[in-house]
Amino acid sequence: MQAILRSPPILRGSLSPPGDKSISHRAAILNSIAQGDAVVENMQHGADVLATFRCLQWLGVRYQWLHERTVRISGVGRDGLQEPTTILECRNSGTTIRLLTGLLAPQPFFSVLNGDASLRSRPMDRIVQPLTAMGADIRGRRGGARAPLAINGHPLTGISYRLPQASAQVKSALALAALYAKGDTFLEEPAPSRDHTERMLQSMGAQVQYGDRSITLHPLGSELQPLSFRVPGDISAAACWLVAAAVHPQAELQLEGVGVNPTRTGVITALRLMGADIALENERLQGPEPVADIIVRSSHLHGTVIEGDLVPQAIDELPLIALAACFAQGETVIRDAAELRVKESDRIRNTVSELRRLGADIEELADGMHIRGLGRLHGANVSSHSDHRLAMLLAVAGLIAQGETIIRNPQAVAISYSCFWGDLKHLAREALISSPE
């Protein structure tokens, strides 16, 4: 299967990105252990989030899709999860397997979490080691470093732990375990990571204190209250259109209802550092999360350095920033991003190799990329490596490269953005020669 694209003469319009994937996972999981029903609107409907819902169903949680993006979740309460009678298949979702490992470690039953070949290659020791320090009994391949993970539920004790690298998935897994632990848990990070779990827990009545780099969690003294709200639009999905419009010579896009949590807006910060014309309007709250409408216009970009605390705030969008750098004047360096090598694919190596096919002057670094802006790309045959972020990156490249771009395995976008090709047609119908839809 392949998609064929070419650059449109004008890129204009407005759209609402799908619900935020990270928030959707957490809304599903936390409402499942709340007491009572919650109705969540704009729930992300990609394959990763659906994997979380299927696992929760096997744990005894009932849910009902009221229509495609609104779901009623019937929480079973703090102690209501049931032992699954089958292996919990997390498919390609790292968030699913890591957060559910934290949730299941203190439950009084046995469970097994597995995933596809890509997920089984991703590191799990980063959650298994601190959970084991809390008293968890978790077995897996390579001493617990790889899935499948077999969990013998066991009472846990709170710990004080400094995460080796900033990771919202690790922090959230430990936070879920801490809700059931005896005593408090204190977590510290070397840099701020996304704080959706903390915000949601506070809104649901949990005792949580947190700052930029630390979080203190107290065991649940009472039931979590269900949280009904509208999930903000996904900033990672919006990032595709931010880069496309900033780089395209004749573009103006409005992205409505996008989540602008400050732990997630690194892509906006990075693009503004490069000179992008991006404005936030109608800023407001949806549930515990800040949202805004984003206006982005054609821009004259220049090179910059992306490093340090900015990296975890833009980790999923760094390949798109590398694409923008191909059109910036001067050189751009992305570093401190070794985490990209253990995503759904090695996103450093694959971003470099595929952008080179399109004519980019880009070099692979151990922990990032070095890009020399040439101001142009040319169409080529490229591959998504079955990675949803790379598929979207290459589609955006096809909107701004000269000539035709052919993408193999473009259907990978369904992992996180099931309506991606429809939105692309909406913004630039003449750009899409063929697509997997």
Q: Is 437 exposed, middle or buried (0-12, 13-18, 19+ CB in 10 A)?
A: middle
Diameter of the chain measured on Cα atoms = 61
Taking the CA atoms of residue 124, residue 126, residue 129 and residue 130 in that order, the dihedral angle to the nearest 10 degrees is -130
- Strands in 368-372's sheet, in edge-to-edge order, are 305-306, 331-334, 368-372, 361-365
CA–CA dist 103, 57 (Å, integer): 14
Query: Would you put residue 385 in left (φ > 0), alpha (ψ -120 to 50) or beta?
Result: left
Positions of E strands within 11-96: 11-15, 35-41, 62-67, 70-76, 88-89
Strand 331-334 and strand 361-365: the pairing is: unpaired
**Residue listed under structure tokens 């599903």:** 28
Residue 347 corresponds to which tokens in the numbers above?
Answer: 């996103």
Task: Give whole-number Cα distances, 78 to 23, 35, 62, in Å.
Answer: 20, 7, 15
What residue type is assigned to position 286 of the chain?
Q
Distance, CA of 401 to CA of 375 (rounded, Å): 10
Q: What does the alpha-carbon distance between residue 428 and residue 437 come to, in Å, rounded to a whole number?
A: 15
**Active-site annotation holder among 316, 346, 361, 367:** 316
Three-state SS at 17: coil
Give the integer Cα–Cα distance in Å for 29 and 204.
12
Cα separation, 150 vs 144, whole angstroms = 9
CB-CB contact of 217 with 178 (8 Å): yes
d(CA 29, CA 95): 11
Q: Bridge partners of 365?
A: 368
What's the sign of the alpha-carbon dihedral 53, 237, 393, 319? negative
Residue type, 350: N
For residues 23 and 43, give the distance between their C-alpha atoms in angstroms, rounded to a whole number. 9
Kindly compute the dihedral angle of the four CA atoms of residues 21, 67, 226, 181, in this order, to the nearest 10 degrees: -40
316 classed as catalytic: yes
| CA torsion through residues 217, 223, 229, 235, sign | positive
Q: Which active-site residues does the annotation give?
A: 316
